[in-house]
Amino acid sequence: MSEASSSISKWCVKDLSFQGEDITGRIMAALEANAEYFGVSTLQMMENAGSSVAKEITARFKSDGTRVVIVAGTGGNGGDGMVAARHLAYLGFRIELILIGRPEDVKREIVQRNWMALQFIGDSVKTVVATDSALIPKLEGEVIVDALLGTGAKGRLRPPILEAVKAINEASGFKVAIDLPTGVDSDSGEIQGEAVKADLTVALHRSKTGLSSSSAKSFIGELVVAGIGVPREAEYYIGPGDVFLTRKPRLSDSHKGDYGRLLVVGGSETYAGAPTLAAMAAMRVGVDLVFLAAPSATAHDIASFSPSLITLKLKGDHLSSRNIAFLRGFVEKSSAVILGPGLGLHKDTIEAVRSLVDLVGKMRIPLLLDADGLKAFAESKRHLDFPVVFTPHAGEYKILVGEEPPRELEKKIEHVRRSAKELNSVILLKGAVDVVSDGVRLKLNKVVHNPGMTVGGTGDVLSGIVGAFLSQGFNPFESAAAGVFINGAAGDFVVQEKGYHMLAADLIDWIPRVMDNPMSHIQVRKKST
């Protein structure tokens, strides 16, 4: 084990306060994706889930002759129920599993495999297919298991699931819900109409936020949390699941601006490439409009790079306070701002950064401060009361917080978290292991990294990606974590394609490919481990 891995492991073991927290359904889906990326398959997790449910039933009922009826849907929750059926049958319970829906509606491969397994053990598990409400039999068993719907289900129940829920509630047996009772919203606890009234709820990995609500209290019965094999590292290491959290579906009735308007303020007579890379990266993420504000001569150069960029010509050779009035209107039109790439540190620029940060803060528009923007802010740094992301490397971090980041990783992690809390912001400290914290939560990246990323401009691409997510309405912590993975994975794919001869611009074409299929990076990771 490397020194970095050892430090992270020690820190993960020591800091377990997060383990007791409830999570939303979307976070659970992200953790499962990360777990699979790190080598724990969804099939393994489903096996562990079903086994855990069987264990809880075995602890409460004698196996000899006890009848257990499992009412299963065609999705992942149903798959958990199918696994539980196998384990309980092996232990001597009399098992009947009722599939609500057609076998051909079982789409996920891991659920298909568990359904097929039951077809070969028909002597110990009786299966019934109820394709519509009229075919749902009376449920007669000492134990009734709700394996209908999981955390992804939203809204009012519809037939035949609705009738299955009614049948469960009408049954006289002890009712066990897998992960959460069907009909209870996993995030809010809201119940629209019917919901299973369970005697026992076996929450998987961690309890879901909806289960702690007052509206769900009378439906969950006893609450038990069961592990399914999701490793701690899935919580702390950045992975594909973090990218899934920043997906924004394109609706058919979408309008221009629905997917973000981003203002990038940067560039100087020396640096034209930095803000251009940030802006182009943001557009590849899927932002509708990017305004790029730069000194006039620089803006004319930038305009020649791409007709997709809207360049704003600032008066003078550098950003100054006299530009603020002109920029106000574009700040108002924007849903996020990136301030800093290639900006320079002229005295007038430092004053302008202070004014621009105040302006953005008053409008409560998310802000990303990078490079020279971060350095300029550091001269008058303060606790911030609006969404801000800082993206320093080690040298910029020292300027921002007044201290170098500790070399020892465990201490560095705590230092970043403390600094983020003091600034009331998200800090993304770039390095051999990237550290992302909002002062409470913590994410680490040591997987999507390669030595080629030291080339100039890759940090600007990262800023553009993170800024794009901010403009689309994602919270700063999730935006930073997703940006780290996409940027690093894009760099890994470039190395695979070109070797260590990359340009920062090469990453931009890989952004859509990583976003569309972040799990594809698993092949690169396997080659490097």
Residue 6: predicted pLDDT: 54
**Confidence band, pLDDT 50/70/90 cuts, at residue 9:** low
pLDDT digits (tens, 9 = 90+) for 68-121: 999 999 999 999 999 999 999 999 999 999 999 999 999 999 999 999 999 999
Query: Does the pLDDT of residue 5 top 80, yes or no?
Result: no
Output the pTM of the full model.
Answer: 0.92
Which percentage of the chain shows pLDDT scores above 90? Answer: 84
- Cα–Cα dist 480/404, whole Å: 21
One fold for 41-229 and 240-528: no
**Where does 240-528 sit in CATH, by number?**
3.40.1190.20
**Confidence band, pLDDT 50/70/90 cuts, at residue 13:** very low
Nearest-5° angle of CA 156, CA 475, CA 251?
Answer: 50
- Window from 55-69, 126-140, 298-312, 408-422 with minimum mean pLDDT: 298-312
- Cα–Cα dist 298/239, whole Å: 37
Residue 396: predicted pLDDT: 97
**Confidence band, pLDDT 50/70/90 cuts, at residue 252:** confident
Q: Nearest-CA neighbor of 360 among 381, 383, 386?
A: 386
Residue 237: predicted pLDDT: 95
10-32: average pLDDT: 72
Query: Does the pLDDT of residue 19 top 50, yes or no?
Result: no
Beta bridge partners of 201: 177, 223
**Confidence band, pLDDT 50/70/90 cuts, at residue 61:** very high
Taking CB atoms within 8 Å and a gap of at least 24, the contacts of 107-111 are: 107/74, 108/75, 108/76, 108/79, 110/42, 110/43, 110/46, 110/76, 110/79, 111/46, 111/74, 111/75, 111/76, 111/78, 111/79, 111/82
Query: Does the pLDDT of residue 462 top 70, yes or no?
Result: yes
Q: Nearest-CA neighbor of 50 among 75, 25, 78?
A: 78
Query: Does the pLDDT of residue 217 top 90, yes or no?
Result: yes
Specify the fold of 41-229. Rossmann fold (3.40.50)
Query: Does the pLDDT of residue 4 top 80, yes or no?
Result: no
Residue 300: predicted pLDDT: 87
Which percentage of the chain shows pLDDT scores above 70? Answer: 95
**Confidence band, pLDDT 50/70/90 cuts, at residue 197:** very high
Q: What is the mean pLDDT of the chain?
A: 93
252-265: average pLDDT: 90
The two three-digit tokens of residue 466, written as one number: 């993170």
- Look up tokens 């035949």; give the residue: 160
**Confidence band, pLDDT 50/70/90 cuts, at residue 1:** very low
508-517: average pLDDT: 97
281-295: average pLDDT: 96
Query: Does the pLDDT of residue 17 top 70, yes or no?
Result: no
423-439: average pLDDT: 96
From residue 196, alpha-carbon distances to 58, 129, 179, 200 in Å are 21, 20, 12, 11
Type of residue found at 518: P
Domain range summary for the chain, segments of one domain joined by +: 41-229, 240-528
Q: Nearest-CA neighbor of 485 among 135, 125, 244?
A: 244
Residue 447: predicted pLDDT: 82
- Window from 155-159, 254-258, 399-403 with minimum mean pLDDT: 254-258
